[in-house]
Structure 1
Amino acid sequence: MTSFASFDLPAPVVQHLSDTGITAPFPIQTATLPDTLSGRDVLGRGRTGSGKTLAFALPLVTRLAGRRRVSKRPSGLVLVPTRELANQVNAVVEPLATSLGLVTTTIFGGVNQTRQVNALRSGVDIVIACPGRLEDLLGQGVLSLEDVQITVLDEADHMADLGFLPGVKRIMDRTPRVGQRMLFSATLDNGVDVLVKRYLTNPLHHAVDSAESPVAAMTHHVLAVSGADDKKDIVQELASGTGRRVLFTRTKHQAKRLAKQLTTAGVPAVDLHGNLTQPARERNLAAFSSGAVRVLVATDIAARGIHVDDVELVVHVDPPAEHKAYLHRSGRTARAGSGGDVVTIMLPEQTGDMRTLTRQAKISAKPVSVRPGDKLISELVGERAQVVSAAQAAATVPSAPQQPQRAAGGGQRRGGRGRSTGSGQGPATSASAPQRTAGRGRAGQSSGRPQGGAGSRSVYSSSTGQAPVDSRGQAGGARAQGGRRPSRRATSTVRSV
């Protein structure tokens, strides 16, 4: 069996991988590493959870090791579509970089730029950035990309979906043409092929699978229910297991309401959607990642860029609008070779849409009519969690921050700093080094000081449920909000990224 030791990787990097339980490369890593380590431009295609992050992180740190660090002039650049993904990528890259004496930082919107600017002035080797804030800082002269030797475009198809390609092109035009470029994407549609032709030089193509390829270890179920009452009861049943599960809704309001309904019913649940402030988002995600809360109710904000170990069940409470969203949502389970179940709840009026969705997603699941308490639902739930009172469930969920009082005519309070924790393609017990940068944010309509306990110190994106915000923090004309830092760090475990 191939191991990382068989590649031309520095000993400290191999040792770090071994220490965190990472010994066998995934297919996308095995396919691309010989070429990327030699400096070739590479186009890597693989579905979510295939291990693309480590595939570019290893050559990135290896080839930049030993370079002289210059203030405001990084030598490595990773462009990502969302702030969640920036934090996740940094959680993988930073420990590897640290083992070779390299410094990383993240750049994204929705937080005060001061800490990002200070990090750049102090000197960093690798910048992991969202396009909007990076363009802002370039325009201010805070950094230069003239020394960038390696550029990575991660989830390029998602950047295209969000309309970021014009900004990506402007940024790429400011990097040296002679540098190495790596582009990783699940698909080549929506203009991604233009990026490949314009910026990659004789790229080697490596495709381990198609974005439309369902994961073999993932079992799909379509549960046909007779009406809204049965649907509500079945969703509550599916949420009541002992393992982690993610429930997807179509709108932010539905996610918030469902999380409250489950918690009131004695099933502790947290929500993740675009109406939450960043501190609230990081608190909730940390509670879910640490296992303090086993149910996450989310909009499509969590369909990409959120990688948490051992999610055994994904429930499409509301079927998504199109098959790509279905596959990305479903990809929160059955990661890194593990198994998982995906359930879609279908109302009678959704039958035609689900028939189209399953055909386009290339899954063979046939609708099965169910009622609350049916054997199939019990099998999907597995071992049930201990029933708790509504008060006990509410006590488990991270508290909502209180809005600070403001004097008449006074400005909003400023927020605090944060850090991200996570781990790479390792076992569920592994944890990464803390993230270097986050920033201050402005307290929003419902933000104040988050409570302690399970609060993570990472800063996550303020993307909306259906269309994540751009990296400047804008969503429909509203600025993404930040807040004060939580009091304790929670460790989130991440497997394949």
Structure 2
Amino acid sequence: MLPTRRCLVGLPVVRFSDLGIESSLVSCLADQGITEPFEVQIEAIPSAMEGRDICCRAPTGSGKTLAFGLPLISRIGPAKPKKPTALILTPTRELAEQIRNVLDPLAWESKMNVLSVYGGTSYGKQLKGLEKGVEILVACPGRLLDLLKRKALSLEDVSIVVLDEADRMADMGFMEPVCEIIDHCISEPQMILFSATLDHEVSKLRKSYQNDPVRIEIGPKEISMDSMEHLFWNIKPYKKTEIAVKSVRRAGRSIIFCRTRSGVDRLSDEMKLDNIPLSSLHGGLNQKQRDRAMRKFSSGRSMVLVATDVAARGIDVEGINCVVHYDPPDDAKAYKHRSGRTARAGSSGVVISLVKRNEQRSYNRIQREVGIRKRFTDPRPEVLKKNEFNLVPSYENKEGRINTKKKRNRRGRSKNSKRNKFTKGTNENRNKNFRGKEKRRRGRRSKKKADDRP
């Protein structure tokens, strides 16, 4: 049986400095308003700082990124070109970018570089970053294997490997690529594994690649369905959008899940006609569009995220009051993952399922498997708790607001663009240019008159 670290219950308040984190990183965290570690950080950081392998079960949103990121930054050395010293593997592009955004300011404080690599984007920027040398590489398995085959990098200097959302990688069929990537690490690196569940596939990974790991378990083994209110509303198909609009207007910050990309696009278009500030997210968007949608939603510039299941795991956005199953989830596991976006960290939340008549049987099965028993009722969005949502403006105007859009001149170029700066010149140069042009025009007119003579 694996050793399990005992929870530090009843002890005085723990600070990051008590866990062995250096003062410069502690100050950087304090500047971000982070002064006290979460439970998973208190449990994982000391063992990680000692160089121990870690097998940790913890839910999304529990503070895992700093739990592995702080020891990683503290322990690794400088990198050579194309030879990162730490590797973080994630199942999705959104999660990779989220981890990079968290670690980047901390790594910068320690004079280190962080690079994220994933599919759906050009190779150019990623190849240049690897050429310069990065200490911390955050990667999705598919793109990393592609770069390894191109000999764009080597993993021989990697001293720490982190597997984040390992169960999700197993669900997506990434276990074989993950094993192939770990085998590219010539030395035996410290292996830190985080997962929401420690099921059969994750257990095989632990047995194959970890050496006497410290086992840490945070929170319930499964997403608790008791912390949220579940509503199952019978609905006619043509009423679904109307009820969804009324529900999110009452609930405030919400996520609506659709089954298909076209369903997301169609619902988004319909809700925009009702002036609902929203973002759309699905696998058919390119990476820039997906990043823009997540930034817009997480920063409060949109109230609703309409998404496929691509957003159901690994994305940590605070303050979600409501989850709407616009289309039914595939199974009980998907229902849990979708619903788990709300009622987090002790807060309350509501989960609404819009149920057509032919979907009642599948929802009955889902209820049995997740351990809840709710009646199917008529929709009543007016009884939902009214949550205020203050939309963050995308730009600000002269009344104390700053417009983020560049001012354009008559030709459509920014007034501060390099092209305008270099072509404009001083008044003296402009006068010289004008006189030169006038002379050339006179010369052409004289020549034309001469050619017209008989």
Q: TM-score per shorter chain, which class?
A: 0.7 to 0.9
Instruction: Check if 1:258 corresponds to 2:267.
Output: yes
Residues 243-269 of structure 1 deviation map (CA, whole Å, 9 limit, x = unaligned) = 321101111111111111111123233
**2:240–2:354 CA contact under 8 A, matched in 1:** yes
Shift of residue 210 of structure 1?
Answer: 4.1
Percent identity, please. 40
Q: Distance in 2 between matches of 1:16 and 1:397?
A: 27
Shift of residue 289 of structure 1?
Answer: 2.3
The equivalent of 2:451 in structure 1 is none
Which structure 1 residue ranges, 5 or more long, are not aligned? 387-392, 399-451, 455-497
**Aligned pair partner of 1:81 in 84, 87, 91:** 91
The equivalent of 2:333 in structure 1 is 324
Residues 75-132 of structure 1 deviation map (CA, whole Å, 9 limit, x = unaligned) = 1000111111110111111122112111111111111111111111111111001111
Letter in 1 for 2:327: D
Letter in 1 for 2:228: T
The equivalent of 1:141 in structure 2 is 151
Which structure 2 residue ranges, 5 or more long, are not aligned? 1-12, 396-403, 407-454
**Aligned pair partner of 2:69 in 57, 72, 82:** 57
Pairs within 5 Å for 1:89-488: 89-189=99-199, 191-214=201-224, 218-241=227-250, 243-362=252-371, 364=372, 366-371=374-379, 374=380, 377-380=381-384, 382-383=386-387
**1:259–1:271 CA contact under 8 A, matched in 2:** yes
**1:212–1:324 CA contact under 8 A, matched in 2:** no
**1:152–1:183 CA contact under 8 A, matched in 2:** yes
**1:239–1:381 CA contact under 8 A, matched in 2:** no
Shift of residue 142 of structure 1?
Answer: 1.4
Shift of residue 188 of structure 1?
Answer: 2.6
**1:4–1:25 CA contact under 8 A, matched in 2:** yes
Q: Distance in 2 between matches of 1:86 and 1:74?
A: 16
Q: Distance in 2 between matches of 1:275 and 1:163?
A: 20
Shift of residue 356 of structure 1?
Answer: 2.4
**1:214–1:361 CA contact under 8 A, matched in 2:** no
Residue range with higher mean Cα deviation, 319-328 or 101-110: 319-328
Residues 253-288 of structure 1 deviation map (CA, whole Å, 9 limit, x = unaligned) = 111111111111232333211222333323333322
**1:72–1:120 CA contact under 8 A, matched in 2:** yes
Shift of residue 15 of structure 1?
Answer: 1.2
Shift of residue 337 of structure 1?
Answer: 4.0
**2:223–2:340 CA contact under 8 A, matched in 1:** no
Judging by fraction of residues, say which structure has more helix.
2
Letter in 1 for 2:39: P
The equivalent of 1:26 in structure 2 is 38
Q: Distance in 2 between matches of 1:281 and 1:47?
A: 23
Q: Distance in 2 between matches of 1:316 and 1:222?
A: 10
Change in 2 beyond 3 A, CA 1:50/1:361? farther
SS, match of residue 384 in structure 2: helix
Residues 225-248 of structure 1 deviation map (CA, whole Å, 9 limit, x = unaligned) = 142244333212112247321101
Change in 2 beyond 3 A, CA 1:264/1:76? same
**2:228–2:342 CA contact under 8 A, matched in 1:** no
The equivalent of 1:35 in structure 2 is 47
Q: Distance in 2 between matches of 1:360 and 1:28?
A: 28
Shift of residue 326 of structure 1?
Answer: 1.8
Shift of residue 5 of structure 1?
Answer: 2.7
Shift of residue 300 of structure 1?
Answer: 0.5
Residue range with higher mean Cα deviation, 76-85 or 172-181: 172-181
Letter in 2 for 1:219: M
**Aligned pair partner of 1:17 in 14, 21, 29:** 29
Residue range with higher mean Cα deviation, 54-63 or 230-239: 230-239
Change in 2 beyond 3 A, CA 1:226/1:73? closer
Shift of residue 17 of structure 1?
Answer: 1.6
The equivalent of 1:7 in structure 2 is 19
Q: Distance in 1 between matches of 2:78 and 2:292?
A: 38
Letter in 1 for 2:44: T
Shift of residue 365 of structure 1?
Answer: 5.3
Q: Distance in 1 between matches of 2:351 and 2:304?
A: 15
SS, match of residue 297 in structure 1: strand
Q: Distance in 1 between matches of 2:79 and 2:235?
A: 63
SS, match of residue 73 in structure 1: coil
Of structures 1 and 2, the one with the larger relative CO (CA 8 A, separation 6+) is 1
**1:224–1:348 CA contact under 8 A, matched in 2:** no
SS, match of residue 191 in structure 1: helix
Give me the TM-score of the superposition, normalised by structure 1: 0.72
**2:167–2:198 CA contact under 8 A, matched in 1:** yes
Q: Distance in 1 between matches of 2:85 and 2:374?
A: 51
